[in-house]
Amino acid sequence: MSSIISYTLSTKRHTGIGLFLGLIPLCLQTLHADPLAFEKACLQAFKGEQLPEFSQNLTQLRKARLAQASRLPNPSVFYEQESARSTDAFNESSVGLSVNLDFIWKRGSRIKAAEQKNSASEFELSSKQLKVSYEIANMFIDYANWNKELKELGTSIKQHEEALTISRKLLVKGIISAFNLKRIELRMDELRFSYKELESNIAGLLAEFQLWVSEEEAIPANANLLYDISFETAEKAVEHALRNRPDLLAFEANSNWKAEEVKKYKNEKLPEVSLDISAKKYPGDNDGFFIGMSMEIPLGEKQGDVQFAESEKVSGTLEYKRAKRKVEREVKAAWQIWHHLQTDKNSSLGRSQMSEGKNYLQGLQSSFANGEASVIEYLDGLGSLLTGKQNTLKRHHLKQSAYLRLTYLSASTPSFSTPKI
């Protein structure tokens, strides 16, 4: 989840009172909010997505599928009565049991196919859980970084308000013209518009987060993303993904299932053999015992099953290979982005540079108050300091987003630490 905040110059006027009133709903919501840790938020999101119910149903489905594949054929009980009315009259009867024996060489392939199908279902559930965790993690870093940006914008607005106060005094002294006050007011309009825009994004994020966790007024806890998963090379990241990506493992399990389906249907084309055992009563007091075998040859009933299963097997193999290539592309690209942001040390302001910028701004403010620096110079100084802070925060945000995407695509779970208050 990401958003690009543009700071377009707006001529619409926003008073300080209006900005304050606009903050009231968000502040009240925050005061009554219950911060959720990342792990708890994920668990509540799982419940909201009904993943526990899905898991329970999946367990029942796995058991039913195995039971269906493991079942034995029902035996048949038969009774026969044969009699004749003639000079050679006789009366014979028999009772027996017929058992289908084809399960001996067909049942095993059915069970293996069912086991592979069960594995694919399990991986699909894991893939959903990983996706939900990724969405929640993105909300955590977006919420934290946008609030930092909001704080910097608020600080800059106060600095411009101080500049406006100083300018009014200089106007009274005749050092500057009223046009310079207009410059500051326009800049403040621009900042307030950006502030309200970012505030709206935060409100939208909170609304979405609360729907995810099914809890009104919930907010992400103030937490730091831990960079505790290290992939030294893109190849290692890809290797980890190929071993652990549940969506890819689901494709592989489906491919294996379709291969087992071919074996199953080939076995199904074998003849069906039944064992018949019966006791026979002949005329008089003579009893007999009968044992025999019957065979059903599937000449036309199973036609096309094997060919269809083999086509599905080829399709499953191609789908798995295509998914594997996609995973390799995604992970390599994500690793390159993360590696670039991780190793680039010259893209943001360090603490010493920030301190120098603040000292410079304090000196520039004194010069401006004394009429030595122009309004344009002071506004440029304020703008440069804000831009530096914003770029630093955005760079940090990009770095976190890139790390989260890499962990998601490589099937690793991110972790957060909550700062001590």
Of 250, 241, 230, 229, the residue nearest 328 (C-alpha): 241
Mean of pLDDT over the chain: 83
Q: Are 260 and 109 in contact (CB under 8 A)?
A: yes
**pLDDT of 1 above 60:** no
The whole-number pLDDT of residue 355 equals 66
Q: What is the pLDDT of residue 400?
A: 93
Q: Which residues pair with 95 in a beta bridge?
A: 79, 279
Give the model's pLDDT for residue 2: 38
Q: Which residue has the tokens 């074996």?
A: 263
Share of the chain above pLDDT 90, in %: 39
Alpha-helix residue ranges (DSSP H) falling in 173-221: 178-213
Structure confidence by residue, pLDDT tens digits, 343-399: 876 655 555 566 666 777 777 888 878 888 888 888 888 888 888 888 889 999 999
What is the predicted pLDDT for the residue at 4? 34
CA distance 59 to 223: 35
Q: What pTM, to 2 d.p., does this model score?
A: 0.77
Structure confidence by residue, pLDDT tens digits, 80-134: 777 766 666 667 778 888 887 776 767 888 888 888 888 888 898 999 999 999 9
CA separation for the pair 415, 417 (Å, rounded) = 7
Higher pLDDT, 12 or 179: 179
- Map residue 92 onto helix, strand or coil: strand
Who's near 126: CB < 8 A, 6+ residues apart?
Answer: 246
pLDDT-derived band at 156 (thresholds 50, 70, 90) equals very high
**Which one, of 201, 195, 144, lies nearest residue 397 by Cα?**
144
Nearest to 47 by CA among 253, 207, 214: 214
Instruction: Kindly state the percentage of the chain with pLDDT values over 70.
Output: 84
